[in-house]
Amino acid sequence: MRASLACVLLPVAAQAANIILGNDDGWAEINVRTLYNSLTAAGESVVLSSPATDKSGTGSLTATPSALTSACEFNSCPAGSPAEGFNASDTRLNYVNSYPATAMEYGINTLAPTFFGGAPDFAVTGVNVGVNLGIQVPFSGTVGAAVEAMNLGIPAVVFSGYTGSQTAWNVTTPLYSQVYADLATNITSVLLASGAPYLPANVWLNVNFPAATSTTCSSASDYKFVLSRIWTAIPLISAADVETCGSTRLPLERTVVDTTSDCYVSISVGDGDKLDANATLQGVVLEKLQSILTCLP
């Protein structure tokens, strides 16, 4: 059931996708910058549109952007800067002084026409500092940004990683940041290689990476991928999931990420209410990611 990611990535090189990238940890956090570099190196056309400061835990809140009364995070722009701005040496790196969902909307409606000549093909958010599992999902601004993209008709994936803390963009890239960026790029490439529509309408993917250290799960090639669910199924009430691994009940994503016998990544299919999508929609994702998915032991 499992195949090498290197094999599945080959078809993607022929065509670049236009990707809007966001997060809730802020535009100058090292995880999102590392993912920007990784996606760009893979041949994708990427534009970052993220909050000027850390907006973790703000869910799907939106607000009109305003001029900065204090500096951007890590002093990446000075107090008094305009409500929206960009990096002078790379205009594809953009901040919005508002919530993650607002930054994503700005990226899709304002930046994408400028850089892409139209709507983006895909939206990616993260890699979030810390996992987004279960009850954390509704409150995550990184999730909120992806759901905003989905609501605007753009397929979206959220990436979150267990290891790490808020870190400035201009330090030596931590191992975990590079590993997570490589994993996120690989999964994105597999989805893009599956062909449009990359995801069914009105769904988004919630992807969580386990701990990455110098001795454990230290390379993208160490990881395995499991289709999972966000919320605990309620007996006799929750509908069956898509059938895979000999069961019609997907494992809980927290169970996947917490499995210590190997480096398992959870991939869950969410809907517009930030709940689990139905079995039919899960099935579409299962087919698209079949080449890299495996089962828990």
Kindly list the strands in the beta sheet with 90-96, ordered across the sheet, starting from the edge strand earlier in the chain. Answer: 84-87, 90-96, 45-51, 18-22, 122-129, 156-161, 203-209, 263-271, 223-228
Question: Has this prediction a pTM greater than 0.75?
Answer: yes
20 vs 23: CA distance, rounded Å: 10
- Give first-to-last CA distance, the chain, whole Å: 13
Computed over its alpha carbons, how large is the radius of gyration of the chain?
Answer: 18
- Among candidate residues 81, 160, 177, 189, the one labeled active-site is 160
108 vs 164: CA distance, rounded Å: 28
Query: Which pLDDT belongs to residue 261?
Result: 82
State the 10-residue block means of pLDDT for the chain, 297 residues long: 38 72 98 98 98 98 98 98 97 98 98 98 98 97 98 98 97 98 98 97 98 94 97 95 98 94 96 98 98 96
Q: Give the residue among 144, 180, 192, 202 at the shortest CA–CA distance from 257.
A: 180
36 vs 92: CA distance, rounded Å: 10
Give residue-wise pLDDT tens across range 3-33: 334 333 433 344 799 999 999 999 999 999 9
Query: Which pLDDT belongs to residue 4?
Result: 35
Active site residue 268: no
Per-residue CA distances from 107 to 50, 162, 274 (Å): 8, 27, 22
In the beta sheet, which residues pair with residue 94?
49, 86
Please tell me what DSSP assigns to residue 14: G
Domains in the chain: ranges and CATH: 5-289 (3.40.1210.10)
Query: Which pLDDT belongs to residue 72?
Result: 98
Query: Which pLDDT belongs to residue 254?
Result: 96
φ and ψ at 85, to 5 degrees? -160, 180
In this structure, are residues 72 and 170 in contact, taking their beta carbons and an 8 Å threshold? no
3-state secondary structure of 183: helix
205 vs 236: CA distance, rounded Å: 25
Query: Which pLDDT belongs to residue 187?
Result: 98
Per-residue CA distances from 268 to 106, 206, 219, 272 (Å): 26, 5, 22, 13
